[in-house]
Amino acid sequence: MRLLSLTALVMIAFAANSVLNRMAVHGAGWGPAATGFVRLGSGALVLVILALRARGWSGLRVKPAHLVMGVATLALYMYGFSIASGRIDAGIGALTLFGMVQITMFAGAVVQREPISRWRWIGAGLAFAGLVVLLAPGTPTRIDPTGFALMALAGIGWGLYSLAGAKARDPLVVSALNFAVTTPLALLWLVLAQDWGQGASWGWGPALASGAITSGLGYALWYRVLPQIPAAQAAIAQLSVPLLAALGGALLLGEIPAGRFWWACLLVLGGIAISLHKNRAGAR
């Protein structure tokens, strides 16, 4: 039950990331490079502080190859996510992101020959059915193709980042160093993009919250939970994020979901519950 509660808390943080970035880039009119830099910088600060308290300066070590992989995939995720947040709604963006994460992590599970029980497949099917219900509008919905492509790219980056983090001996240290090393790359992007100073001053709030709280603290908790659950199970749990992001968009951005939203809620959460249920017969 404790593991399930921690996983749920992380999913809420991930959903909040979509809403907060949408608020900063689309609502406050901030540039994506500025938002990404503030998010990475504040997230790096929180993670480094946590890592230092837990391990000390001597514990901040990671293999160069792992650092390169982490920085590359984190940068890919941050670049695509920051730009796409200003082009597509929070709910649709979260669905695209975690849909690609789902595909990437299930592919990783297959490559790693991880056993996937029939209950997890049934749960994943129900959850996907819920997402279909959620996104099947009564009238055609126009989605920015560039935003969709960039968010899909971000999903691939986050999926690979999650798979790499699952193998880390000390995920907190790895996350801290990944964020710290990626921050200068975000600064370079900011300098080249020259989009600093755009938008309303209140954009600092969601940008910092996205970095320090839902990214820094959220990722630290995620990498504490991730090694305890299989890649396929982690991917299925993340199916709840689009639903939570849609709810957040309704409350904070005025994006009111249709009545079918609640049917989607039942399907998605029911599917996740089935996939996380420990059943001996399902492990055969």
In tens, the pLDDT along 114-123 reads: 777 777 778 7
* Residue owning tokens 């975690």: 98
Q: What is the pTM of this model?
A: 0.79
Q: Are 109 and 235 in contact (CB under 8 A)?
A: yes
Q: Which of 92, 229, 112, 98 is nearest to 154 (CA)?
A: 98
DSSP string for 210-223: IIIIIIIIHHHHHH
CA 260, 264, 267, 269 torsion: positive or negative?
Answer: negative
Distance linking the first and last C-alpha atoms of the chain: 23
| Average pLDDT value for residue range 234-260 | 74
Residue 61: Cβ within 10 Å count: 12
Token pair, residue 92, equals: 């649709």
Q: Mind listing the pLDDT tens digit for each residue in 24-51?
A: 998 899 999 999 999 999 999 999 999 9
What is the spatial distance between Cα 232 and Cα 277, in angstroms, rounded to a whole number? 13
Give the pLDDT score at 267.
80
What is the spatial distance between Cα 122 and Cα 118, in angstroms, rounded to a whole number? 6
Residue 107: Cβ within 10 Å count: 16
Q: Which of 5-19, 32-46, 155-169, 205-219 has the lowest mean pLDDT?
A: 155-169
Residue 195: Cβ within 10 Å count: 16
The full length of the chain comes to 284
The burial of 216, by beta-carbon neighbours within 10 Å (0-12 exposed, 13-18 middle, 19 or more buried), is given as: buried
Q: Are 276 and 255 in contact (CB under 8 A)?
A: no
Say what the alpha-carbon torsion angle 11, 14, 20, 21 is, to the nearest 10 degrees.
-160
Give the pLDDT score at 283.
41
Higher pLDDT, 185 or 65: 185
Q: Are 234 and 171 in contact (CB under 8 A)?
A: no
